[in-house]
Amino acid sequence: MERLTGKELRRLSTFLRELYQLRTHEEFTSHLVDALPMITEAEFTSYNEIDRRAGTGTFKTNVPGFLADPARYGQVLAQHAPEHPMLQHFERTKDGAPITISDFVSDSTFRETALHKEFYEPLDIPHIMGFALQSDPSRSITVAHHRNGQAFGEHTRSILNAVRPHILQGLKNALAVTRLHDQLAALDQAMEAGHCAMLSVSADGRIHLAAPHAHTLLAQYGMALTGGADWLPPVLRAWLRRQISHPATADDVAPSITPLTVTGKAGTLVIRLMPKRSQYLLMLEEDRPLSPDLRHLGLSPRETEVLEWVVQGKTNPEIGTILSISHRTVQKHLERIYMRLGVENRHAAIGLALAQRKRSR
């Protein structure tokens, strides 16, 4: 690699330090196209994903408004991927090092291709240097620098070649964070549907991890998390302290860990303590009584709640606010309610619920 100036080294150090920050895939790719031009010469940078089997593509840039229709250009890029000299090189050699189109064909020859006429020419992109993060028969992930004027020099190639392993690792980290984020979101949604939530805390009551629904449940039962939500509310800290301060002795057995039961307007919240090494898991489980009129319809507790509010004329957003869930989640509950009740719409479900209520009286 060519020798870098002190200014370039400082920029590169900052770039690498920021690259490894905790981010989801969407956050990472947005950061990448914004940050990469800070260490190399380019008028704009793009992050490109092509799903070869589906024939679809993603084309993200760091220039707001550069693409009037990003989805369309992503599709065009995917359509012409088999004739793209850089993409074909990446797939054939499995070498993702930075390259330019002029490494393979002359500018005059490339300008005659359909790829240039339908993608690069409308976007006014005369010079490209790119590298691959993934290239196989099913998917291609590349990052490209674009500029007008002079072609890219070897200095830019050297810098991109040096940072590519870091970018690849950063992408893998971001994909792992995204998978974890999705799994936690799915877990929280499943627990929310069952009126459950979980917190991980230390012995002194400091919160290390809390499912979003845990905040909602605690607030509904008068124990809202305040002060940055880093600590359990006083009543829970006191209960936790009592539960873990009675270890077994030589002549006695430690008392059982007793759940904390809190009664509220909507039902009862039971909080169970489960030690896990130096941490403690708090399982929150809400028990809401079913409506006597609707409990024989075969619905889950959450579905029964949703149907009760529908019968009272509430809209999906209103029900979402009441139950502390999104209006999309309300709609998913309604779709399952329709299927279980054998009806097709909201009005039919209301009619069936009212008929059941009438029979119960």
Query: How does pLDDT run across 174-184, given as a tens digit for each residue?
Result: 998 888 777 67
On whether residue 175 sits in a domain, the answer given is yes
Are 302 and 276 contained in the same domain? no
Q: 124: alpha, beta or left, given left = phi > 0 and alpha = psi -120 to 50?
A: left
Give the CATH number for residue 315: 1.10.10.10
Neighbours of 211 (CB within 10 A): 21
Same domain, 207 and 239: yes
Report which of 228, 198, 234 is spatially closest to residue 213, judged by C-alpha positions: 198
Q: Which domain holds residue 208?
A: 194-245+256-287
Kindly list the distances between the CA atom of residue 276 and the CA atoms of 203, 273, 280, 282, in Å, as whole numbers in the listed order.
11, 10, 5, 10
Dist CA 153 CA 158 (whole Å) = 9
Q: Does any domain span residue 151?
A: yes
Residue environment code for 45-84, b if the CB has 16+ CB neighbours within 10 A, otherwise e: bbbbbbebeeeebbbbbbeeeebeeeeebbbbbbbbbeeb
Paired tokens of 241: 């302290």
**Whole-structure pTM value:** 0.59
Boundary (domain end) residue, out of 132, 148, 180: 180
Which one-letter amino acid corresponds to residue 11?
R
What CATH number does the domain containing 240 carry? 3.30.450.20
Task: Measure the CA–CA gap between 26 and 32, rounded to whole angstroms.
Answer: 10
* Domain total in the chain: 3
Which one, of 52, 201, 163, 67, lies nearest residue 122 by Cα?
67
Alpha helices (H) in the chain, listed in sequence order: 6-19, 25-35, 70-79, 85-93, 107-110, 114-115, 121-123, 154-193, 212-220, 234-244, 301-311, 316-323, 327-341, 346-360
Q: Looking at the domain assignment, is residue 168 inside a domain?
A: yes
45 and 146 in a single domain? The answer is yes
Give the residue among 259, 179, 264, 171 at the shortest CA–CA distance from 217: 264
Q: Is residue 187 part of a domain?
A: no
Judgement on whether residues 38 and 123 belong to the same structural domain of the protein: yes
| pLDDT string in tens for the chain (361-residue length) | 567 778 888 889 999 999 988 899 999 999 999 999 889 888 889 899 988 777 788 888 887 666 667 677 778 878 888 889 999 999 999 999 999 999 999 988 988 998 888 888 887 778 899 999 999 888 899 999 988 878 888 999 999 999 999 999 999 999 988 887 776 776 666 566 556 788 888 889 999 888 888 888 899 899 988 756 689 999 999 999 988 876 545 455 656 678 899 998 777 899 998 887 678 889 898 876 656 667 678 888 888 888 888 887 888 888 887 787 888 899 999 999 999 898 999 988 888 888 877 676 5
Largest CA distance in the chain: 92
Say if residues 360 and 293 touch (Cβ distance below 8 Å).
yes
Q: In the sheet that 44-51 helps form, which strands lie side by side, from edge to edge?
A: 56-61, 44-51, 139-147, 127-135, 99-100
Q: Is the domain of 271 the same as that of 301?
A: no
Residue reference for tokens 């905790």 = 22
